Amino acid sequence: MDAEFNHPYHHAQLLRLRCSVQNYNWGKTGTDSHVARLFALNSGSKIELDKPYAEFWVGTHESGPSFLLESGVENGAPIGSQFITLKDWIAKNPNVLGNKVFDKWGSDLPFLFKVLSVAKALSIQAHPDKELAKMLHKLQPDVYKDDNHKPEMALAITEFEALCGFIGLKELKVVIHNVPEIVELVGSTDANQLLHMNEQDGEEKVKSVLRSIFTQLMSASKEMTTKVISKLKNRLHMESQVRQLTDKEQLVLQLEKQYPADIGVISAFFFNYVKLNPGEALYLGANEPHAYLYGDCIECMATSDNVVRAGLTPKPRDVQILCSMLTYKQGFPEILKGFPLSPYTTRYLPPFDEFEVDRCVLPWKASTVFPAVPGPSVFVITGGEGKMLTGSSTEVVNEGDVLFAPANIEIGITTASELHLYRAGVSSRFFQFL
């Protein structure tokens, strides 16, 4: 695995990265967007005030690559500088990944790290498992651009709202009972069957009825959907005169404003409505339905951009694939609060090999150490200033700086003001169980 070093940096040093931004229309606009501020500071560009800034990407995915600045020197004068992608640089220097990571995933980062600023709901979606991803990529490479699965985790920076996973049977019965518009779309046979079920019928039986109802709902004709959502909206507006609407009902009205006559509006009744406080995280396995609704978060995932969509979106949808791939697991998702690694650092460790995330808030004049780990890491500075020290070098870091750390180097951090940073790396569990 020895590769020649074609780069002026010594491999035991931190590399500064210039990262990509995605301007999807659900992003927060201009200076309201945390992503816009990070991107402007990272790239030295100006924020366009009326443009949405949705996602800041750190990693090696082709759809939003990170670059490092490579400059050569000849006779004491710079011979120009050009950008090389982090992916290309790692391919030339695979030993920066550490042997175990290289043996499992080859010469690429196994995780993709993002910051999201969400102003309006993202599509109701799920990410395929590895088998399905391979099949979809083969059949529709222009839509499903890679063959990887995409387990992911969202860690709230601000209060953060999402829909995630199906509600339990008890809550589902209440929904069927209280939302006549759903029965109108799916028919009374399935609806009655569900109302008469109980836990004793067994999980698989409940799942199959839920699958049938959800598939019928998501497959409703445009005409029928428009009619039923208009009814729903009118009913909720009238009822709001005489009673307090539930959180979910208020959310449904808000979604209807964002995506009029979209089946995703009514399907929101089927999902858990999750509100995260800053520092809380939600993880999503393959084939679990979800939609982020509002707020800023750190997101980490396996290196993939595969999404199967079915609602709350102007983009193409794959309703049949989505409805057939879901696990239909029910119940409220687990919220990760992380565990302390040190007085200043909290670790979030979802049950996936590809990644873990550390959140570090370091007070002024404090210092901490990130011990050497057997895999690569990336660091994103989201506030304050300080210094990152490795054996051979010191990097002054400020908000917007992003750094790549090769495997097996210890990093000391000191502050010039309160410093906020996030680190993503390969899961420490992956190294324990090899």
pLDDT tens by residue, 300-326: 998 877 888 988 888 888 899 989 999
pLDDT (average), residues 30-42: 97
Model confidence, pTM: 0.91
Residue with tokens 């518009």: 181
Is 216 labelled as part of a ligand binding site? no
Among this protein's residues, is 309 annotated catalytic?
yes
The larger pLDDT score, comparing residue 303 to residue 407, is at 407
pLDDT exceeds 60 at position 363: yes
pLDDT band per the 50, 70, 90 thresholds, residue 160: very high
The two tokens of residue 300 are 């980490």
Distance CA 88, CA 211 (A): 44
pLDDT (average), residues 187-201: 88
The two tokens of residue 84 are 């090389």
| HEC assignment per residue over 397-410 | EECCCEEEECCCCC
- Residue 434: predicted pLDDT: 55
396-431 as b/e, with b when 16 or more CB fall inside 10 Å? ebebbbbbbbbbbbebebebeeebbbbbbbbbeebb
The CATH 1.10.441.10 portion of the chain extends over: 169-270+315-336
Q: What share of the chain in percent tops pLDDT 90?
A: 77
The larger pLDDT score, comparing residue 384 to residue 303, is at 384
pLDDT exceeds 60 at position 259: yes
What CATH class does 339-431 carry?
mainly beta
pLDDT (average), residues 405-419: 96
The two tokens of residue 403 are 């750094």
pLDDT exceeds 50 at position 79: no
pLDDT tens sequence across 366-376: 999 999 999 99
> In this structure, which amino acid lies at residue 41?
L
pLDDT exceeds 60 at position 270: yes
Task: Provide the 3-class DSSP secondary structure of residue 216.
Answer: helix
The larger pLDDT score, comparing residue 432 to residue 50, is at 50
Distance CA 218, CA 207 (A): 16
pLDDT exceeds 90 at position 256: yes
pLDDT (average), residues 341-355: 95
Q: Among 161, 60, 43, 68, which Cα is nearest to 113's?
A: 60
pLDDT band per the 50, 70, 90 thresholds, residue 142: confident
The two tokens of residue 18 are 């210039």
pLDDT (average), residues 66-92: 67
Whether 296 and 158 have beta carbons less than 8 Å apart is answered as yes
pLDDT (average), residues 263-276: 96
pLDDT band per the 50, 70, 90 thresholds, residue 13: confident
pLDDT (average), residues 166-176: 95
Is 290 labelled as part of a ligand binding site? yes
Catalytic residue among 37, 309, 359, 423: 309
- Residue 102: predicted pLDDT: 95
Superfamily classification of domain 20-162: Jelly Rolls (2.60.120.10)
pLDDT exceeds 90 at position 70: no
- Residue 4: predicted pLDDT: 37
pLDDT band per the 50, 70, 90 thresholds, residue 141: confident
Distance CA 348, CA 283 (A): 10
CATH placement of domain 169-270+315-336: 1.10.441.10
Is 125 labelled as part of a ligand binding site? yes
pLDDT exceeds 70 at position 75: no
Angle between helix 188-195 and helix 203-218 axes, rounded to 10 deg: 150
pLDDT band per the 50, 70, 90 thresholds, residue 1: very low
Is 159 labelled as part of a ligand binding site? no
- Residue 433: predicted pLDDT: 66
The larger pLDDT score, comparing residue 200 to residue 57, is at 57
- Residue 271: predicted pLDDT: 97
Mean pLDDT of the chain: 91
The CATH 2.60.120.10 portion of the chain extends over: 20-162, 339-431
pLDDT exceeds 80 at position 81: no
The two tokens of residue 348 are 């979030």
pLDDT exceeds 60 at position 282: yes
pLDDT band per the 50, 70, 90 thresholds, residue 140: confident
